Amino acid sequence: MTRLSVNINKVATLRNARGGNNPSVVQVAQDVERFGAQGVTVHPRPDERHITTKDVYDLKEIVSTEFNIEGYPDDRFMQILKDIRPDQATLVPDPPHVLTSNAGWDTVQNRERLSDIISEIKALGIRTSIFVEPEVHIIEGAAQIGTDRIELYTEMYATAHKQSPEKAIHDYKLAAIKAKELGIGINAGHDLDQHNLKYLVEQIPFIDEVSIGHALICDALYYGLENTIQLYLRELK
């Protein structure tokens, strides 16, 4: 079964809007694990608009499933990885000012740089994943830089799924098949929700993990966090 990692950035966004520690990202991380999620994802941006650096260090002490830290591999991010040693580091190419991750790495143009970064992270005993778009030559480039996994950027899939699921999944299936052939693990994330998740994992059943935050937290406002986690796990089954 594809594993569910819950991105708790939006919990921190809500907390930061008022100050204080309500809701507590530590408590929510413990709860999503208790409710059945197999991982916790955070993206500590430099401006700390949601997850703060302190949050990451606090979460290190309590996350008992898989801890996945996303981010742009600048000096700050690399120091966090050295200190925390999460289970997985997911590299995203977006600079600090963007609202959310909106593109994947060009693994061909950035081959030398990414190779060095991947080697450094793997030397820390951390599994590596890089955020990519569903293009076969990009997947081939990912294999050349030595990453353990890719994370398929699924915004285009989620948008196109509303009109034609078959067309929406086409490039993703080709990319996933190529990754599998090359021995690269596959994650997926961005705009996945209860409407499009099941079809994705039915068509690409060898996806290792999905990272879901925004839609899941929004659903939890209506269904409750525990029930929402179970609803998403049901889609993955």
Cβ neighbourhood burial of 181 (10 Å; 0-12, 13-18, 19+): exposed
* Stated pTM of the model: 0.95
pLDDT above 90 for 217: yes
Strand partners, 210: 4, 188
Q: Are 151 and 131 in contact (CB under 8 A)?
A: yes
Task: Report, as residue numbers or ranges, the catalytic residues.
Answer: 43, 70, 190
- The whole-number pLDDT of residue 101 equals 60
CA quadruple 215, 220, 221, 227: dihedral positive or negative? positive
* Distance, first Cα to last Cα, the chain: 6
Q: What is the mean pLDDT of residues 73-100?
A: 88
- The whole-number pLDDT of residue 98 equals 60
- The whole-number pLDDT of residue 99 equals 54
Query: Rounded to 5 degrees, what are φ and ψ at 75?
Result: -60, -40
Q: State which amino acid sits at residue 104.
A: G
Can you tell me the distance from the alpha carbon of 34 to that of 105, in angstroms, rounded to the nearest whole number? 34
pLDDT tens for 91-123 read: 999 766 665 566 899 999 999 999 999 999 999
- The whole-number pLDDT of residue 100 equals 58
- The whole-number pLDDT of residue 94 equals 79
Q: Are 196 and 166 in contact (CB under 8 A)?
A: no
Percent of the chain with pLDDT over 90: 96
- The whole-number pLDDT of residue 96 equals 62
Strand partners, 71: 91
pLDDT above 90 for 78: yes
pLDDT above 90 for 64: yes
